[in-house]
Amino acid sequence: MAAPKIAPSMLSSDFANLASEAERMVRLGADWLHMDIMCRHFVPNLTIGAPVIQSLRKHTKAYLDCHLMVTNPSDYVEPFGKAGASGFTFHIEVARDNWQELIQSIKSKGMRPGVSLRPGTPVEEVFPLVEAKNPVELVLVMTVEPGFGGQKFMPEMMDKVRTLRKKYPCLDIEVDGGLGPSTIDVAASAGANCIVAGSSIFGAADPGEVISVLRKSVEGSQNKS
């Protein structure tokens, strides 16, 4: 069984105080810190790059779960490996021809490879990457169109999660987009175990309570299955 992992999305944090925000999230029970890397080409937004990861790494030992919404993920592997990224998740839509080399490269730099898919991409596209001799170790199912925080959760994406969980009982399956106390049960019961949540955690009066609610929902669903 894949362990529950709650990953606050640092895109929703106070960027001027990133180190203290990271420390606060870990203290409140976060397992991972989710870092959104956007290049303005794959998605119409620009966020952070390797220098910010490198700076943050000096202040935290936390698992930095990096989601690269970029058109050329292979260009980012070396800098992110050097910067101290823990996980490197690329999009299948930009890696259909070179995912094998990309996975190898990510692992050679000491990072854990993951693959993500946009809402419009069929889940079958990631099967070969999970079943490969040198596989990805995480699949991120986007539950909103990637690019911006604060969007509405798309429950129809849960069919992808259910398909993946049935096929791969021990796989880390991550969901990202619109997750919070009102949507977690749907995602958890579908089989997601890695939960990315931004505004629902950082915008809460008690972020630690939200992290706890998300974790309990995943644990509860796993205990039922």
* Sheet with 172-176: strands ordered across: 5-8, 194-197, 172-176, 138-142, 112-117, 87-91, 63-69, 32-38
Q: What is the DSSP letter of 132?
A: S
176 given a catalytic annotation: yes
3-state secondary structure at position 35:
strand
97 is in an annotated binding site: no
9 is in an annotated binding site: yes
Angstrom distances, CA of residue 107 to CA of 125, 135, 211 = 21, 10, 29
34 is in an annotated binding site: yes
105 is in an annotated binding site: no
199 is in an annotated binding site: yes
14 is in an annotated binding site: no
> Among the options 31, 65, 172, 176, which is catalytic?
176
Q: What is the DSSP letter of 50?
A: H
41 is in an annotated binding site: no
> Among the options 31, 36, 65, 172, which is catalytic?
36
Smallest CA-to-CA distance from 65 within 5, 127, 21 is with: 5
75 given a catalytic annotation: no
110 is in an annotated binding site: no
200 is in an annotated binding site: no
153 is in an annotated binding site: no
DSSP E strands in the chain: the ranges are 5-8, 32-38, 63-69, 87-91, 112-117, 138-142, 172-176, 194-197
C-alpha 136/C-alpha 225 separation (Å) is 24
C-alpha 138/C-alpha 89 separation (Å) is 8
Q: How many alpha carbons lie under 13 Å from residue 158 in its C-beta half-sphere?
A: 17
> Binding site for substrate: residue ranges?
9, 67, 147-150, 178, 198-199
Catalytic residues: 36, 176
Binding residues for a divalent metal cation: 34, 36, 67, 176
Residue ranges of the binding site? 9, 34, 36, 67, 147-150, 176, 178, 198-199
